[in-house]
Amino acid sequence: MIRLEQHIDPRGSLSVVESGMTVDFAIERVYYMHGQAASSPPRGLHGHRTLEQLVIAVHGGFSITLDDGFRRATYRLDEPGAGLYIGPMVWRVLKDFAPDSVALVLASRHYEESDYYRDYDTFLRDARSLT
Ligand code: TYD
């Protein structure tokens, strides 16, 4: 979890992410997920071969479970002043979205379907063969 630089004054708050400072990677793509209902199915359910990402709950909140093939950890993102870094070879599941949540994702590469693991067993086999 990365604490973001924030500038808070009587006008409100301003949060900053900079390549080479907040995150080591160069940000090449930005996308955001919104419109989830409490009853929506989980999102994510994939891993990436090379992609690096920073995920921020810019509004609302949601849970992310990360799995590197050996360990699992669940994080609750519910404040715009923090981001969760997700490196390569990590399976992620996003769920338990609060109403009107917006999940902002800053990514190190353009969208490439070939970078995805969509099948958990294939991901697990490759992740466990890394050590
Ligand atoms: P998907 O990977 O299923 O989203 P999530 O990570 O929430 O499970 O992506 C949904 C659709 O959007 C899928 O058809 C791929 C497409 N997509 C793009 O075209 N560009 C992108 O940058 C992303 C993240 C997804």
Domain 2-128 architecture? Sandwich (2.60)
Under the banding of pLDDT at 50, 70 and 90, the label for residue 59 is very high
Ligand 1 binding pocket mutation candidate from 27, 28, 31 (most atoms within 8 A of CB): 31
Of 66, 63, 102, 58, nearest in space to 85 by CA = 66
Per-residue pLDDT, 87:
98
pTM above 0.95, yes or no: yes
pLDDT in tens, 81-93: 999 999 999 999 9
pLDDT of 39 reads 87
- Ligand 1 atom closest to Cα of residue 44: 8
Residues flanking ligand 1, CB < 6 Å = 29, 31, 33, 43-44, 111
What pLDDT digit, counting tens, does each position of 92-105 carry?
999 999 999 999 99
For residue 44, CA distances in Å to 48, 64, 67, 81 come to: 11, 9, 12, 22
Percent of the chain at pLDDT > 90 equals: 96
pLDDT of residue 38: 82
Report the percentage of the chain scoring pLDDT > 70.
99
Distance spanning both ends of the chain, measured CA to CA = 24
ipTM: 0.96
